[in-house]
Structures are given as C-alpha cells and as structure tokens.
Amino acid sequence: QVQLVQSGAEVKKPGASVKVSCKASGYTFTGYYLHWVRQAPGQGLEWMGCINPNTGTTTYAQKFQGSVTLTSATSISTAYMELSRLRSDDTAVYYCARVAVRGVIGDAFDIWGQGTTVTVSS
C-alpha cells in the first residue's frame, strides 16, 4: 500500500542540525511532490516547504529559507529534511506528506508520514 515511513525520534542540542528521512513505498516516488509540515507541542500545523523528487527542485516557506534543506534520493525512494542551527522552539513533530496529484506542487495531502519528534534541549 502507499505509505510514507519516517525515521525515529531525535534529541539535539541547540545549535546542532537534524536530518529526518521519509521513505516512500507503493507508488512512483518521482511522480509526486513531497512536502514537510511541522507541529510544535500543543500548536497547529505549519507548512515548511516541498521538493520535486524527480528534478530536485525545492520551494521553502519564507520562515525556513536558509535553515531548512530538502533533498531526495530517488534510488531508495527517500526524502530528507535537514534543519540547521536548531533552537528550542524547533522542538516539534515533523511530518512528510505527499500531494495527491501527480506532478502538481500544491493540492491535497493524501498520504502523511507517522511524524518524527525532534526535541531540542541543552
């Protein structure tokens, strides 16, 4: 079945970097944009950016430009989100999500990963 499986929880110190993976299965990885959304404890959903796994083209929310790097490895159907210069307010659950329509950057998110908890603490 179509699914996205994310890497496990991380604990990092302020100033460090974290890289979260999102492995796709059950569909053609290169055909669909993958997005990243985060949710701080007790807060709402926040869109971070996306990648076209076929071309490697990325789009970032203004807030995350310069601190987030999205990449993908097509040979293993895996997308990555790297967040650098971590601060305590980066503590959140990070989700990857697939856009439902092939080749379209912005439409419904039909498949979500299970989420990866990133805790930033000294």
Partner 1 sequence: SYELTQPPSVSVSPGQTANVTCSGNKLGNKYTFWYQQRPGQSPMLVIYRDNKRPSGIPERFAGSSSGNTATLTISGTQAMDEADYYCQAWDRTLGFFGSGTQVTVL
Q: Which residues bind partner 1 (CB under 8 A)?
A: 35, 37, 44-47, 50, 59, 61-62, 95, 97, 100, 105-110, 112-115
Rounded to a whole number of angstroms, the minimum distance from the CB of residue 59 to partner 1 is 5
Rounded to a whole number of angstroms, the minimum distance from the CB of residue 95 to partner 1 is 6
Tokens of 83: 């967040």
Tokens of 23: 């492995």
**Is the Cα torsion angle 24, 74, 48, 117 positive or negative in sign?**
positive
The smaller minimum CB distance to partner 1, of residues 16 and 104, is found at 104
The smaller minimum CB distance to partner 1, of residues 84 and 117, is found at 117
CA distances from 10 to 13, 42, 103 (A): 10, 19, 31
